[in-house]
Chain A
C-alpha cells in the first residue's frame, strides 16, 4: 500500500494556502467533461455534490434513503464548532487545532487538523448565507455554547437540531443543482462495489460503482472519472448504537476489499449521555446532546446500598441527600468538570456502574444527569428554552419528566473515528477514490470532540474536495470508461454472486438475530474497555458466528425485487467480516488512547496510558482475500508543531 500522506511542505499554518496555490486546476470549460460519483448525501456528500456541481462537474449522487434529506447527519443535536472567537474568550484557529489534537489523544494527523480549524469559520459564513437559522442574541449576533474538551464557547447551534438545519441547508444547495440538471440524484440505491480500471501504466483507478436499486432489486453499473465515498461510520457493527437503522460499513468495506486501506478501525466513540438500554426488543439507542452537560450535573450515589435501593425502585433519585451524591466528573476533573471529553466521561460512568453504584433498574447500567441545580439558578423556563426539545424527547422515550427528576443516562456507541485511509488530499491509496466525512479516518485521532463531526463533514465537502479533486482530475484527464469495460462486468458478477449466495442459504435465523449476537460480542469484548483476553475471545467468536451466518441466515423473497431482508443481510455479512478487522486492530494497539482503552495500559488512577514511543502511528489494514488475515501497515504520525503531552483535564 502506498501510504504517502502527501502533506505539503512549509510551516503548519501555511500548508493549506500554499497547497491551494500550487495544485492543478481544471479549466471551467473542461469541468463539464468530467463525471463524479458521490456515495451518500449527508453533510459531506451533500456539500461535496452541491459544490462540485456549482463548479461545473457532472455529479451522480446515491443514497439508500428515499430522499437525500434523510441522511443521518440530520440527527446531530448540539452544534458545530468554529474558531470565530465571537465571544472574545481567547479562541483562535490554533486553539481549535490544539484542542482537536489533544481531544484526539495525539493520534490525528497534524496538517489535516490544522486545515480543519482553518476553514471552520468559512463554514459558518457559508451556512448562514444559505439560510440556516442559527441561534442569535437580541442584538442579532450569533450565539455560542460550550462543548466538551474546550474552555472556550465556540459551538454554534440551532436549538437542539443543528445537524438537521445544516443538512437541510446543504440539501437545499444540492436540490438547486438537481433542478438545474448538474446533479443526478439516485435515491434508494445502495453501493455494493467500487470498480477499478487500469490506466496506461497498469495502475488501477476508481472509475465507477456497482449499485443495487433497492426498489427493483436491479444491479446497475455506473462509471465516472472519480468516486467519492461519503457513507458515514460503522457504529452499527455493535447493533445498538445511536446511528440510523440503515447506516452500515458496506460502502467503505467493499472499497477495502478492492484494495483501499482501512485505518484505525478500533477507534470507536462511546458517547456518555445516551438513554440506557430498556430491554431486548430495542433497536437503537438515543443520544441526549452533550450540550446538556453545560447545565446538567452528572452523578451516581456514593453508597452502594443507596444505588441498590434505587435499582429496586424502593427509593427515588430526588430522595438521595446531597451528602450521598458523587458528582464524579466534578470531583475527578475539576477544571473541565461536567464538560470532560466524551471518552473520559464514558469511562467514568462505566467505572461508577462497575463499582456497584449504577442506578438503572435491572442492569444497573445508568447514572444521573441532574438539572435541579441549574433550574434553581436559572429557572425552568431558561432550561426549557435551551433544551426543551431534548427534555420532550426524553419524556417520550422513557415516560419521565426530567424537569422533576434527573435524567438517567449511560454511554452508547455513537461515532467512529476510524475509517478508510486518506492522504492530505482526502484520496485513499486507490487513485481516484476519495473519502470524506466520518467515512475517513483523518481528523479526530482516537477520540472526537463534541460538535466537530458536523465541522469535518462540511469542511471536507465544501472547502477541501473542490480543490483536491480538481488536482487529481487535471492530472488524469477527462474520460469515464465505457460500461462494457470488463472491470464492470466482473464487479457486477461478484455483487450478484454475493447476493445469490445469501439468498441460497435459506436457514432458520434472521439477519437481525445474528446481528444482535455480533453486537453483544463487540460490546462486551471490544467496547469501552478491552483486554488481550477479551479481544482474543472475540477473535475466535466472530469467525464462528460468521460461519453460522452463512449456514443459517434466512432471507425470504427474491433478490430481483424490493427486499429489505436482503439489504439487511448484506450489511450484516459485511459487519461480520469487518468486526474481525476492528478486533485485530484493538489487539495490536498495546496502549490506551482516546476511545480505545486497554485495561492492561492504565495509570494507577485509572487514566489511559498512551505509548508514544511505539504507537504514534496510524494502523492501516490491507485486505488479503477471503478467509485470510489482513495485514497491518503503519503511517507514522510526525508532529512538527505540537509536542506529545499527557492528556489531562484535571
Chain B
C-alpha cells in the first residue's frame, strides 16, 4: 500500500424513506487503508459527510465480526460483496484495487422494505421464527443434558444448519426473493435433533405458512442463495425442508395432525 492509501469511488444508494425515490450518489474517497474493513471505509465517507454538515449514509451494522447478521449490503451486484463466505463487515479493502468504482445498494426484496439508504426491514424473518422456529422447552424441569444422546454426525449436521446468522443475503441473491434457505436452515437444525422431533410437522407447516404470508417468492433451485450465504449453508437443507413439508402435509390431509 502506498503511504497515501487507496482512492475509491463509491456509487452509493441514497433513499430518504420507503416511499421516496432513491438514486445513486457518487462519492470520492482517498487515503483508504487496505487493512481497513469495508465498513470502516464507509465510516470514512460518513465522517467526511458529517464534517460537511450532511447526513451520513445509514447502514445496518453492529458486531463487526461476522456473527450478528446485521450488516447487509449488495456490493457490485453481489450480497456481502466479492469474498465467498464473508459478511460485509469482514470484507477488507485489500480485496479491492486502488481506483476501483464500487456500487453499493440495499437488499432488494418486496418482503424487506427499504427504511432508509441501505437499511431494510427484516421483520419478516423474526415473524417466521415466531411462527414455529423453536422447540417448546419451558424453563426448568428438563432432563440432564447427557440423558439425550446425539451422535456426532447428527450434532454436526444440526450445527451446520444452526450457523445461519439471519442476514437475508439469501433473499437478496435470489431472483425470486425466496427465503427458503433461511427457513430451511432453522427447520433443519431443529428437526434433525431428537429434542425437536415432537414438533417437527407443526413447525414446518407453520414456518412455511408464515414465509408465504410474508410474500417471499418460491424456490426454483438456482442456488444463488447458497453462493451468497456468508455462513456456507447448503441447499441440502432446502431438500430436507421440502421432504419434511411433504410428510407433514400428507399427515395433515389424512387428519393425523391435530
* In the complex, chain A residues whose CB is within 8 Å of the CB of B37: 283, 397
A508 B33 Cβ-Cβ under 8 A: no
Tell me the complex Cα distance, A126–B145, Å.
Answer: 8
B142 A128 Cβ-Cβ under 8 A: yes
A278 B33 Cβ-Cβ under 8 A: yes
Stretch binding the partner chain, chosen from B66-74, B218-226, B243-251: B66-74
Tell me the complex Cα distance, A242–B62, Å.
Answer: 11
Instruction: Given A66-B70, A136-B150, A556-B53, check contact A168 B139 (CB 8 Å).
Output: no
* In the complex, chain B residues whose CB is within 8 Å of the CB of A165: 159, 162
A630 within 8 Å of B (CB atoms): no
Contact of A175 among B55, B60, B66, B130 (CB under 8 A): B130
B145 A124 Cβ-Cβ under 8 A: yes
* In the complex, chain A residues whose CB is within 8 Å of the CB of B145: 84, 124-125, 127-128, 134, 142
Interface size class of A (residues with CB under 8 A): 35 or more
Instruction: Given A69-B69, A133-B158, A136-B150, check contact A126 B142 (CB 8 Å).
Output: yes
A543 within 8 Å of B (CB atoms): no
Contact of B189 among A51, A69, A133, A175 (CB under 8 A): A133
Return the chain B residue nearest A159 by Cβ.
Answer: B159
* In the complex, chain A residues whose CB is within 8 Å of the CB of B144: 125
Stretch binding the partner chain, chosen from B19-27, B120-128, B171-179, B233-241: B120-128
* In the complex, chain A residues whose CB is within 8 Å of the CB of B138: 54
Tell me the complex Cα distance, A111–B64, Å.
Answer: 37
Stretch binding the partner chain, chosen from A24-32, A70-78, A328-336: A70-78
Q: Nearest-CB distance from B10 to chain A (Å)?
A: 15
Return the chain B residue nearest A283 by Cβ.
Answer: B40
Chain A residues 511 to 563 lying within 8 A of chain B, measured CB to CB, are 512-513, 554-557, 562
Instruction: Given A130-B137, A397-B90, check contact A283 B152 (CB 8 Å).
Output: no
Tell me the complex Cα distance, A557–B148, Å.
Answer: 55
* In the complex, chain A residues whose CB is within 8 Å of the CB of B92: 396-397, 399
Tell me the complex Cα distance, A131–B189, Å.
Answer: 8
A67 within 8 Å of B (CB atoms): yes
B68 A50 Cβ-Cβ under 8 A: no
Chain B residues 102 to 148 lying within 8 A of chain A, measured CB to CB, are 115-116, 119, 121-123, 125-126, 129-131, 133-140, 142-146, 148
Scan B77-118; emit 1 where CB is below 8 A from any A CB, else 0.
Answer: 000000101100011101000000000000000000001100
Tell me the complex Cα distance, A69–B60, Å.
Answer: 14
* In the complex, chain B residues whose CB is within 8 Å of the CB of A564: 56, 58
B205 within 8 Å of A (CB atoms): no
Contact of B47 among A84, A164, A512, A562 (CB under 8 A): A512
A137 B152 Cβ-Cβ under 8 A: yes
Return the chain B residue nearest A71 by Cβ.
Answer: B68
Return the chain B residue nearest A398 by Cβ.
Answer: B35
* In the complex, chain B residues whose CB is within 8 Å of the CB of A164: 67, 163, 165
Instruction: Given A129-B135, A246-B62, A462-B139, check contact A141 B146 (CB 8 Å).
Output: yes
Tell me the complex Cα distance, A144–B84, Å.
Answer: 31
Tell me the complex Cα distance, A142–B36, Å.
Answer: 39
A286 within 8 Å of B (CB atoms): yes
B212 within 8 Å of A (CB atoms): no
Return the chain B residue nearest A168 by Cβ.
Answer: B162
Scan A155-183; emit 1 where CB is below 8 A from any B CB, else 0.
Answer: 00011010111001001110110110000
A65 B62 Cβ-Cβ under 8 A: yes
A510 B193 Cβ-Cβ under 8 A: no
B143 A125 Cβ-Cβ under 8 A: yes
Tell me the complex Cα distance, A557–B116, Å.
Answer: 14
Return the chain B residue nearest A247 by Cβ.
Answer: B62
A603 within 8 Å of B (CB atoms): no
| Contacts across chains A and B counted by CB atoms under 8 Å | 228
* In the complex, chain B residues whose CB is within 8 Å of the CB of A74: 63, 67-68
A135 within 8 Å of B (CB atoms): yes
Scan A549-589; emit 1 where CB is below 8 A from any B CB, else 0.
Answer: 00000111100001011000000000000000000000000
Tell me the complex Cα distance, A40–B193, Å.
Answer: 29
A554 B50 Cβ-Cβ under 8 A: yes
B149 within 8 Å of A (CB atoms): yes
Chain B residues 1 to 60 lying within 8 A of chain A, measured CB to CB, are 32-33, 35-37, 39-41, 43-44, 47, 49-51, 53-56, 58, 60
Contact of B51 among A171, A287, A396, A510 (CB under 8 A): A510
* In the complex, chain B residues whose CB is within 8 Å of the CB of A141: 146, 149
* In the complex, chain A residues whose CB is within 8 Å of the CB of B54: 556
* In the complex, chain A residues whose CB is within 8 Å of the CB of B41: 281
A179 B130 Cβ-Cβ under 8 A: yes
B65 A51 Cβ-Cβ under 8 A: no
Tell me the complex Cα distance, A512–B43, Å.
Answer: 10
A66 B122 Cβ-Cβ under 8 A: yes
Return the chain B residue nearest A127 by Cβ.
Answer: B145
Chain A residues 276 to 332 lying within 8 A of chain B, measured CB to CB, are 278-279, 281-284, 286-287
Tell me the complex Cα distance, A137–B50, Å.
Answer: 53
Return the chain A residue nearest B48 by Cβ.
Answer: A510
A396 B67 Cβ-Cβ under 8 A: no
B133 A129 Cβ-Cβ under 8 A: no
* In the complex, chain A residues whose CB is within 8 Å of the CB of B165: 164
* In the complex, chain B residues whose CB is within 8 Å of the CB of A132: 162
Tell me the complex Cα distance, A423–B54, Å.
Answer: 47
Tell me the complex Cα distance, A393–B148, Å.
Answer: 33
Chain A residues 380 to 426 lying within 8 A of chain B, measured CB to CB, are 392-393, 396-397, 399
Return the chain A residue nearest B122 by Cβ.
Answer: A66
Contact of A172 among B51, B90, B121, B133 (CB under 8 A): B133
Contact of A130 among B134, B140, B166 (CB under 8 A): B134
A557 B55 Cβ-Cβ under 8 A: yes
Which of B49, B134, B146, B151: most chain A Cβ within 10 A?
Answer: B134
Q: Nearest-CB distance from A561 to chain B (Å)?
A: 9
Contact of A67 among B67, B119, B122, B162 (CB under 8 A): B122
Scan A110-134; emit 1 where CB is below 8 A from any B CB, else 0.
Answer: 0000000000001011111111111
B129 A171 Cβ-Cβ under 8 A: yes
* In the complex, chain B residues whose CB is within 8 Å of the CB of A187: 123, 126
Instruction: Given A54-B138, A133-B193, check contact A281 B143 (CB 8 Å).
Output: no
Return the chain A residue nearest B66 by Cβ.
Answer: A393
Q: Nearest-CB distance from B4 to chain A (Å)?
A: 13
* In the complex, chain B residues whose CB is within 8 Å of the CB of A604: none
* In the complex, chain B residues whose CB is within 8 Å of the CB of A506: 53
A176 B69 Cβ-Cβ under 8 A: no
A172 B62 Cβ-Cβ under 8 A: no
Q: Nearest-CB distance from A289 to chain B (Å)?
A: 11
Q: Nearest-CB distance from B251 to chain A (Å)?
A: 22
B195 within 8 Å of A (CB atoms): yes
* In the complex, chain A residues whose CB is within 8 Å of the CB of B126: 67-69, 175, 178, 185, 187
Q: Nearest-CB distance from A215 to chain B (Å)?
A: 6
B148 A172 Cβ-Cβ under 8 A: no
A562 B116 Cβ-Cβ under 8 A: yes
Tell me the complex Cα distance, A506–B51, Å.
Answer: 10
**Could you list some 24 contacts between A and B, CB below 8 A?**
A50-B139, A65-B62, A69-B68, A70-B62, A70-B69, A74-B67, A122-B140, A129-B137, A135-B155, A165-B159, A168-B162, A172-B135, A176-B130, A178-B130, A215-B115, A244-B64, A281-B36, A283-B39, A284-B64, A286-B64, A393-B90, A513-B47, A556-B55, A565-B50
Nearest 6 A/B pairs, CB to CB: A140-B149, A179-B130, A172-B134, A129-B137, A129-B142, A133-B158
Interface positions of A (Cβ within 8 A of B): 47, 50-51, 54, 65-72, 74-75, 84, 86, 122, 124-142, 158-159, 161, 163-165, 168, 171-173, 175-176, 178-179, 185, 187, 215, 242, 244-246, 278-279, 281-284, 286-287, 392-393, 396-397, 399, 462-463, 466, 506, 508, 510, 512-513, 554-557, 562, 564-565
16 more A-B residue pairs beyond the given contacts A51-B139, A122-B140, A556-B53, with a C-beta to C-beta distance below 8 A: A47-B139, A65-B62, A66-B123, A70-B69, A124-B145, A130-B195, A131-B193, A140-B149, A175-B134, A278-B35, A281-B44, A393-B65, A396-B83, A512-B43, A554-B51, A565-B56
